[in-house]
Structures are given as structure tokens and as C-alpha cells.
Structure 1
Amino acid sequence: MSFRIDEVRLPDGKTAIREYLDHPGAVAVVPILDDGRVLMVRQFRYPVGEMTWEVPAGKLTKGEKPEPCVLRELEEETGRKAGRVRKLISYWPTSAFANEIIHIYVADKLTKGRMNPDEDEFIDCRAWELKRIYRQIEQGKIRDSKTLIALLAYRQFGRR
């Protein structure tokens, strides 16, 4: 990631300065257990100063394809391997000041793997029923944008 400052030409011919974060992108995954529950991870997020419940996610390395990243992050953060993954959507979370794109996947047919979070990650993983997750969202207890979008995309497109 890098912070950039570019001089750009506007439609009227004038120039302006645009500041933005150049980001390699990320993935997020809605992991579905055989009984329909969703694996959620809890970790401390320094910028907001809170422990947050989220779907598993991670940053792409430069040039990396999303699907291998999904498989890696799922196992690292939940200790599960996916038998099947399917892309739901991709979106720009903050297109006004970053070129980051997040690719949302759903994973199922999960089997036991090995949880191996990054050195600086301290993760708690739990299985939640969808009703509980949507209630937590409605009550404002889950506020992470990629998680909100991933779960709404799953509700709309994921149950095939």
C-alpha cells in the first residue's frame, strides 16, 4: 500500500490535486458450516479501538488472484478448509480516496484445517446462526463494512 498525490486534469481543462491510497485489494469470505451456521472472527481493530466481529478476510499480495487468498485466509483465521468457494460480488469500499477492491466469496463443504493467524493477529473464531448475525447488525453491534456487505450479498445471492 502507498499513499499517492496526483495532479489530474478535470473535464473543464483545469487541474486539481487528488490524494488516494493505492491498495492491492482484499478478499472476504462467508464460511458456511454444514448446519447453516456462519463462522465469524473477532479481533482488535486499532483504528476504531474495538474488538470487532467480522467475516474472515485478508489483503491480497500484489498480483495475487482472489481465490487462493480466500482459501488461505479462511484456513488461517478459522482453521477450516473450503471444499467449495463461489464468488458473490466485488466492490470498492471507499472509491473517493482508495482504489481498493474487495472480492466477496461464500465457502462451504468445510473440513478441518489448521488455524494459523498472522503474528500480529489475535483471533477468536465462533459459529453463529444467521438470525443472530442479522440481529447483531440491526442492533449496531456488527459495523464492519466488508462484513455487512458480505452478509447482505450472501442473503441476496449466496443461497444457491
Structure 2
Amino acid sequence: MSRRLPVIHKVTSENIGPFQQEQLDLEFSNGERRHFQRLVGHGHGAVVVVPMLDEDTVLLVREYAAGLHRYELGLVKGRIDEGESAIEAADRELKEEAGYGARQLDVLRMLTLAPTYMSHQSWLVLARDLYPERLIGDEPEELEVVPWKLAELDQLMLREDFSEGRSLAALFIAREWLGRAR
């Protein structure tokens, strides 16, 4: 079923750190009016990188997650800087966080975090044909790099220290994409 988008009567906004919080005065096609809030990022989106060490092994990184105040295992990820493409950002973040560059980078798709109230978009990038190269990044400490077999995703998805939705979704998408490419 295709619906007409709600009419936006008014938008008020306030800057809150890296986001702008907007209050929307909406009118839906049935005449109902509501106020919705959304967070709009100031940047150009982000990348989530699936670095394949070989045909069967992905590289994960363990880093401090301030939101949960613990160390979390996940994929290489970071923001896309002004003037960068998703491919360029993925290669840079891979070098900064995992100490590898990639000769082959493919954008698989765009992912959202919580589209009902956030505009944030992350581009899923598959990185293959890796080679060692490290760039200095903004991380306060070197990240631990953890190789993981794609065949063991069933074990990874149940770990308490692997909870980030983008990383989990990205690994399953990449595994399916790689399976079809073979």
C-alpha cells in the first residue's frame, strides 16, 4: 500500500552535540496531527566495513563502547568526512582501526539505525584483498583485532560483547553476498 507522506507544518530545531534535534508538526492523510521528534546528524553519514582477511575470515575489532561502559566486539566503522566517498572513508577507517588497507572495496547497501526518529545512514562496505597499512586515527588506544570465521556467525551472534545491530546485520548481509558471488 502506498501512502502520501504527512504534511510538515512546522519544524523547530535545537543543536545537541553532533546532532540537531527537530520537532515536527505533522498532519497525516487522514487528518490526524501529531508532533514527532527526530535526530539529524551534522555529518555525511558513516561506514560499516566488513574486512575479509581471506575467503572465510572477517576481521573484528574490540573497542571501548561508552554507551554501555564496556569493551565491545564489532566491525570497523566510522564517519564519512567532508569530501570523502563511502569507499574512501571505509579504506581510511580500516587502516586506522584494524591496520589494513584493501585493494577491493564494494558498497553493498545503506543501513539505518532507527529510521523512525534518526536520519543517520551507514554505508555497508565489503573490503577484500587486504594488505597491512596503519594510519593514526582518533582512537585513544590501539584496538584489538580479532579474526572470526564466517562459518561461526551463529556463535558470534550470541556473545554478550557483540551486540551492535549494524555489525550483526552487516555480517549476515556480507555472508549472503559473498555466497552468491562464489
Q: TM-score, normalised by structure 1?
A: 0.88
Comparing 19-28 and 101-110, the one that deviates more = 19-28
Aligned pairs for 1:144-159 (under 5 A) are: 144-159=164-179
Hey, what does 1:21 align to over in structure 2?
A: 39
Q: Which has the higher contact order (CA 8 A, sep 6+)?
A: 1
Q: Residue 13 of structure 2 corresponds to which residue in structure 1?
A: none
> Is the Cα contact below 8 Å between 2:97 and 2:142 reproduced in 1?
no
**Counterpart AA for 1:77:** E
Q: Is the 8 A contact 1:29 1:74 kept in 2?
A: yes
Give the alignment partner of residue 129 of structure 1, picking from 133, 136, 149: 149
> Which has the larger strand fraction?
2
Mapped contact 2:48–2:75 kept (Cα < 8 A): yes
Contact conserved, 2:22 with 2:40, CA < 8 A, in 1? no
Matches within 5 A, 1:11-160: 11=28, 12-13=30-31, 15-23=33-41, 24=43, 25-34=45-54, 36-62=56-82, 64-159=84-179, 160=181
RMSD value, Cα: 2.0
Q: Which has the higher helix share?
A: 1
Counterpart residue number, 1:3: 20
Please state how far the C-alpha of 1:112 moved relative to its aligned partner.
Answer: 1.0
Distance of 1:89 and 1:140 partners within structure 2? 26
Whole-angstrom CA distance in 1 between matches of 2:153 and 2:141: 22
Identity fraction in percent: 23
- TM-score of the pair, normalised by structure 2: 0.78
Deviation at 1:64, TM superposition (A): 3.6
Most deviating of 73-82 and 108-117: 108-117
* SS at structure 2 position matched to 1:109: strand
Amino acid at match of 2:52: I
Give the Cα separation in 2 of the matches to 1:135 and 1:92: 25
3-state DSSP class of the match of 1:83? strand
Q: Distance in 2 between matches of 1:63 and 1:10?
A: 36
Between Structure 1 and Structure 2, how many residues are aligned? Answer: 160
**How big is each residue's C-alpha offset from its partner over 1:70-104, in whole Å with a ceiling of 9 and x where there is no partner?**
01001101111101011112121111221001110
Q: Following TM superposition, where does structure 1 have runs of at least 4 consecutive aligned residues deviating by more than 6 angstroms?
A: none
Larger deviation, residues 89-98 vs 114-123: 114-123
Gaps of 5+ in 2: 1-17
